Structure 1
Amino acid sequence: MSTAQEELPEPIESLLNRAVGLPDPAERARLRQAGSLSQAEVAEALGVHRIQVSKWESGRSEPRQPHRQVYARLLHALAIKFPKGV
């Protein structure tokens, strides 16, 4: 029986990562800043290092599951609260 913590084969992991849409890196940073959140605060809430959030916001890397899904939910909530151009 598999568990939620079990590693998935790379092709499946890749599909899952693509299935959860994220805004472009600059919008990720804008949303975080609009919410007056630091990279460290976001990182702590997601259980990653601050440098990971920095890389996600600069486009140097993309979050992987399970962090990608939770990060996407955070960004979506921030986008509702702080729409672009308002």
Structure 2
Amino acid sequence: MLLEVDRVNEPVDVLVAKLRRYTEWFELLAPKVDKDKAHMTRGAAVHAFRLWSRIYPATGQEGYVPVAFVFTGKTAAQRASRIRGHGHS
């Protein structure tokens, strides 16, 4: 999951809200799973009950999908430079 952080215009509470939504979504149980069994399961085994693990291909790592934070530059020139540096136009 890619999470963009605008250091200029985005207050920290917006970032916190994004992370909270990420956590809530990735903790959703898949349809038709035994909810009691899922809630009693601990550690890596709970991965099998999660909705996201049935939508996205296996990563070989249990838990949450990795998050990549992308911090945008403080000025338009910095942002443009970063975009050009990554082969985008």
TM-score of Structure 1 vs Structure 2, range by shorter chain? under 0.3
Quick check: which has more Rg, 1 or 2? Answer: 2
Q: Quick check: which one's helix share is greater?
A: 1
Q: Quick check: which one's strand share is greater?
A: 2
TM-score (norm 1): 0.26
TM-score (norm 2): 0.26
- Give the structure, 1 or 2, with the largest relative contact order (CA under 8 Å, sep 6 or more): 2
